[in-house]
Structure formats: structure tokens, C-alpha cells
Amino acid sequence: MSKRIQVVLTKDVSKLGREGDLVDVAPGYARNYLLPHSFAVRATPGVLKQVERRREEERQRLIELKKEAEAQKTALETVGRFTISKQAGEGEAIFGTVTASELAEAIQAATGKEVDRREITLPDISKTGFYKAQIKLHPEVTAEVEVHVVGK
């Protein structure tokens, strides 16, 4: 059994790891494939320090993104209710349905903050009234807002 060597990946390599990962590979694989194609560099103390510094910067960036999402959640829940007017018929039934795009536009008009329509989860809205919608702002932060649908 041959000795394995440590390399730090500079690009994502399928079935091996992601950029910045420290992996143990066979010497031939590193020498003949990873190093010549610039997929990896040898793990030296200097390279390991750089990798650790990049990981810390990425961790700080993710913490900052979560704080921004928390602030946006607070702003959305402070406003609380967004009104959308639709053409209505008999028995409070509306023509068409309320879409996530319409809610995203209403949120942007009210708060000035842009929300991705793909992150909005709406129930089936076919009548006027009050409904709850969830907005995923971050993988760990979800805001719940009230949608008031009124007839024109």
C-alpha cells in the first residue's frame, strides 16, 4: 500500500471535494492529474494558512448575510400586511389568482426592499380575504406576512 499525500483543491472536483478542501489522494493521482491540470496544490503550511483565512472570511460573510436577512424579516413583519387588489366577481371570488410576483411587487412598493418571487410560498388564493404567506429570506430565516386580497 502506497503512502497518500495531502493536497488542497483549487477547483471543485467531482467525487473528491470542493474548492479549498484538504484531501488525501494517491501520489500518482496528484502528480499525474490534479497538479498538472491546476485542480490542486500541495498542502504546505503557507497554503493551509491561506485556506483557513479564506474559510474564516466566508464564515464572516455568511454571518453577515444572516444578519441582513434577520433585519429584512423584522422590516417585513413590522409592515405586517400587504394589500393586493384583483378583479372580483360574485361571492368574493377573484378572477385569476394572486401570484408570487404580485406579492413581490407589493412588498417592494411598500418597503423598498426587493424580494425574490421564487422564495415566496403562497396558499391557493381564489377569493378575497386574508391569507398568510411565507418568504424564505435565508436558509435559516423565514418571514411570515399577511396578504389582504381586495376586489376592485
Kindly state the average pLDDT of the residues 35-48: 91
Please report which confidence band the pLDDT of residue 23 belongs to, taking 50, 70 and 90 as the band edges: very high
User: The whole model's pTM is what?
Assistant: 0.66
pLDDT at 30: 92
pLDDT at 2: 65
Q: What are phi and psi of 138, to 5 degrees?
A: -160, 155
Q: How far apart are CA 73 and CA 107, in angstroms?
A: 12
**Counting Cβ atoms within 10 Å, is residue 9 exposed (0-12), middle (13-18) or buried (19+)?**
buried
Hey, what's the torsion of the CAs at 85, 91, 97, 99, to 10 degrees? 40
Please report which confidence band the pLDDT of residue 97 belongs to, taking 50, 70 and 90 as the band edges: confident
Kindly state the average pLDDT of the residues 50-74: 89
Please report which confidence band the pLDDT of residue 1 belongs to, taking 50, 70 and 90 as the band edges: low
Please report which confidence band the pLDDT of residue 111 belongs to, taking 50, 70 and 90 as the band edges: confident
What are the chain's domains? 5-63 (3.40.5.10), 65-151 (3.10.430.100)
Asked if pLDDT for residue 92 goes beyond 60, the answer is yes
Q: Residue ranges of the alpha helices (H) in 87-139?
A: 100-111
**Counting Cβ atoms within 10 Å, is residue 98 exposed (0-12), middle (13-18) or buried (19+)?**
buried
